[in-house]
Chains A and B, each alone.
Chain A
Amino acid sequence: MDEFQTIPYEDFRKIISTVRTLRNIDFTYYAPEILMHRITRSMYMHGVQTSDRLINKLMADNYFADLFVSELFVPTTEMFRDYSMWKFLEDNIIEKLKNETLCKIWVPQVCGDDELYSLLTILHRKRILNRCTVYATSPIQKTLNDAKSGFIDQKKIEISTANFKKIDPEAELSHYLTKEDKYDYFSPELLNNVIFLKSGIESSPPPDNGFNLVLFRDRMLYMNAQTKKAVVDTIAKTICNGGFFVIGIRENLANCDFRNVFIPVSKSENIYIKIQK
């Protein structure tokens, strides 16, 4: 077996159904092509040869079930991915948010989470972190715990540092990291400003409303078109007028019909502002 091997569609449905029964997470909203690859990749990594064996293992082994479900979510790749977006966000959007007395920010579906750490870094650089309430949500407790721990894979440090240097050649990412037993962690001090909540964006109410900024990059890639539309609708309602919505650079809102709700602030960086309806 290799990680690209496909499984019959019936087995695919059975696996999704088992996950829903065991963990109350509905993966039918997921982009099927990618979900199929996530499942076969995980089976390959754990040496599980058949769908039946996978289902038996999921039902018999709680730890494995948690691990398997967390592996279906795609983790973030590095800090400051698409550094020109982060530069734009820091120089234009965060700069504007400095005028707010209090700022509410939401990072839905954390997984990794380099996006959250990058955001905290620039909020700190702009000296507004202490005036911000930052929510980080995920339906999976394990991914929340991972994000909360601040652990950063050693393999990501080099690229993250290079990206950060592109934003500010004088800046040092190491100032935001701590080392513990040879491992790198994102600054616990900055992470203390985050409220972590177990919540699925497609299944639970949002953690708050009146957000000034929602950072939701490269998460809609993994949703089918129908769910994507519903999720954008939910997010749109939580953002205050004049608040910002940031999505991944290859994502689009074209099929969501939100032209009357969001207008682009930067088309190339995919940053939108909510306008008065």
Chain B
Amino acid sequence: MYIVIGGSAGSFQAVTALLASIPRNYPHTIFLCLHRLKNVRGGFVEALSLKSNIPICEPYDKDTAMPGVAYLAPANYHMYIDANNQFSLSTEEPINHSRPSIDVTFCSIANTYKENAIGILLSGANKDGALGLKAIKDAGGTVIVQSPDECQVKTMTSAAIKITEVDYIMLTNNIIDYLKNL
């Protein structure tokens, strides 16, 4: 399966908890699209890697995605994935004031992996990710939203719930159980 996680303001805690719970040699591929500072290239991978059991890396353009690795969208680039599991990075205009945009990555994952995609949307302060999550659902994938009650900022998750009949609204701990049992 191909798991894509999007998050913005207030999502760091949940993302680190998810990554810490994923076992070594995880058979699935993980994509992370998190809003981040545009001009700060270093530090984020290192911070996420502190508790993670699986390697985390920022892909270069045309790199191939492999199972058991979490790929973080690089600062100031949109991240697409094509049918050959190859990354396409882009400096296109920001979407929802964001580059990387969660909608871009989610829609790309939806187009490429269809029913094999699992989209997870976490805390955030704008509506980026809502359309992308809908695209995953429409393409036959599974969509999960962090419970807005648990989110530090619920704008993003509420926007997604408003336009998509999501499969699960879950607390972080339940998302962890879901991912472990995949």
Q: Chain A interface (Cβ within 8 Å of chain B)?
A: 2-4, 6, 31-34, 36-38, 41, 74-77, 81-84, 159, 163, 166, 218, 220-222, 225, 228, 248-252, 254-255
A251 (CB) vs chain B CBs: closest residue: B61
**Is there contact, CB below 8 Å, between A163 and B60?**
no
Q: How far is the CA of A199 from the CA of B26 in the complex (A)?
A: 48
Q: Chain A contacts of B81 at CB under 8 A?
A: 33
Q: Chain B contacts of A33 at CB under 8 A?
A: 80-82, 88, 108, 111-112
**Is there contact, CB below 8 Å, between B62 and A222?**
no
Q: How far is the CA of A36 from the CA of B107 in the complex (A)?
A: 12
Q: How far is the CA of A228 from the CA of B61 in the complex (A)?
A: 11
Given A2-B131, A4-B131: A163 in contact with B90 (beta carbons within 8 A):
no
Q: A4-B107, A74-B92, A221-B90 are in contact. List 19 more A-B contacts (CB 8 A).
A: A3-B95, A4-B135, A32-B82, A33-B108, A33-B112, A34-B88, A37-B107, A74-B91, A77-B76, A77-B91, A163-B39, A218-B91, A221-B61, A221-B88, A249-B41, A250-B59, A250-B74, A250-B77, A251-B61
29 contacts between A and B (CB under 8 A): A2-B131, A3-B95, A4-B107, A31-B82, A31-B88, A32-B82, A33-B81, A33-B108, A33-B112, A34-B80, A36-B111, A37-B80, A37-B104, A37-B107, A41-B92, A74-B90, A77-B91, A81-B91, A82-B41, A83-B39, A166-B39, A220-B61, A221-B88, A222-B90, A249-B41, A250-B58, A250-B77, A251-B60, A251-B61
**Is there contact, CB below 8 Å, between B91 and A254?**
no
Q: How far is the CA of A159 from the CA of B60 in the complex (A)?
A: 24
**Is there contact, CB below 8 Å, between B131 and A34?**
no
Q: Which 5 A-B pairs have the closest CB atoms?
A: A4-B107, A33-B80, A252-B60, A31-B88, A33-B82
State how many residues of chain B have any CB contact under 8 Å with chain A.
Answer: 33
Q: Indicate whether B89 reaches chain A with its CB closer than 8 angstroms.
A: yes
* Min C-beta distance of B64 to chain A, whole Å: 10
* Min C-beta distance of B128 to chain A, whole Å: 12
* Min C-beta distance of B76 to chain A, whole Å: 7
**Is there contact, CB below 8 Å, between B91 and A37?**
no
**Which residues of chain B (57-79) have a CB below 8 Å from chain A?**
58-63, 74, 76-77
Q: Chain A contacts of B99 at CB under 8 A?
A: 77
Tell me which of A166, A218, A254 has the highest count of chain B C-beta atoms within 10 A of its own C-beta: A218
**Is there contact, CB below 8 Å, between A250 and B61?**
yes
A40 (CB) vs chain B CBs: closest residue: B107
A218 (CB) vs chain B CBs: closest residue: B91
Q: Chain B contacts of A36 at CB under 8 A?
A: 111
Q: Indicate whether B132 reaches chain A with its CB closer than 8 angstroms.
A: yes
**Is there contact, CB below 8 Å, between B104 and A76?**
no
Q: How far is the CA of A84 from the CA of B89 in the complex (A)?
A: 20
Q: Chain B contacts of A249 at CB under 8 A?
A: 41
Chain B 131-145 interface 0/1 with A at a Cβ cutoff of 8 Å (1 = within) = 110010000000000
